[in-house]
Amino acid sequence: MAQLTTLARPYAKAAFSNAEAGGQLAAWSKGLAVLAAVARQTRVAGFLSDPSRNAGEQARTLIDLCGNEIDTTVQNFVLVLAANKRLGLLTDIVDLFEQFKAERERTVDVDVVTAFPMDAAAEQQLSALLKNKLQREVKLSTRVDSSLIGGVIVRTGDTVIDSSISGRLKKLAEVMSA
């Protein structure tokens, strides 16, 4: 995984630089998301990883499957990836591109898991607190998991804050068994 990220990084940086220079971050992000979604399909992934297939053929097929959802610059990017036999890195490239974009836009995705549904006021309050703490615009997504019993789990990037009742009970059980 780390090796794939290392290989994907220069391509993601090049795509990001191109998109930023042209003022096309949103268009590139949308196009790359479409490419990644198509490339993740089981049959397409198998086709793209088939060593007996010509890289140009793989690129053209991928571009055709995306149709008008990707513009010419993104299509050219796919052709460059194919010429360098890097189509297999597409999903990693897209993930890195989105990280670069979030860093540029000073945004962060935050996943919140609660034991009970949060009302809009609580979501806004949590979003404001996280914005202040993280010094970034927060894109909050919430979901309910009744197995938490109570409390909340907040995830952003590599950071996890588990203040759920079930999390506390697990920690207590670990301390008692040690």
What is the rounded CA–CA span in Å between residue 178 and residue 174? Answer: 6
| Predicted confidence (pLDDT) at residue 146 exceeds the cutoff of 70 | yes
Q: In whole angstroms, how far apart are CA 112 and each of 51, 117, 123, 147?
A: 41, 11, 9, 14
Residues 6+ apart with CB under 8 A from 22: 73
Beta strand ranges found along the chain (DSSP E): 107-114, 137-144, 152-156, 159-162
pLDDT in tens, 60-85: 999 999 999 999 999 999 999 999 99
Residues 6+ apart with CB under 8 A from 114: 142, 143, 144, 145, 148, 151, 152, 153
| Predicted confidence (pLDDT) at residue 117 exceeds the cutoff of 60 | yes
State the CB neighbour count (10 A cutoff) for residue 165. Answer: 13
Whether 74 and 54 map to the same domain: the answer is: yes
Whether 13 and 85 map to the same domain: the answer is: yes
Per the structure, the count of domains in the chain is: 2
Question: pLDDT > 70: what percent of the chain?
Answer: 99
Q: State the angle between helix axes of 90-105 and 25-39 in degrees (0 to 180), rounded to the nearest 10.
A: 150
Whether 112 and 165 map to the same domain: the answer is: yes
Q: So what's the pLDDT on residue 123?
A: 93
- The residue from 72, 88, 103 where one domain ends is 103
pLDDT in tens, 16-64: 999 999 999 999 999 999 999 999 999 999 998 888 999 999 999 999 9
Whether 74 and 6 map to the same domain: the answer is: yes
Q: Report yes or no: 38 and 65 within 8 Å, Cβ to Cβ.
A: yes
Q: So what's the pLDDT on residue 2?
A: 63
Whether 169 and 139 map to the same domain: the answer is: yes
10: domain CATH number? 1.10.520.20
Structural domain harbouring 124 = 107-177
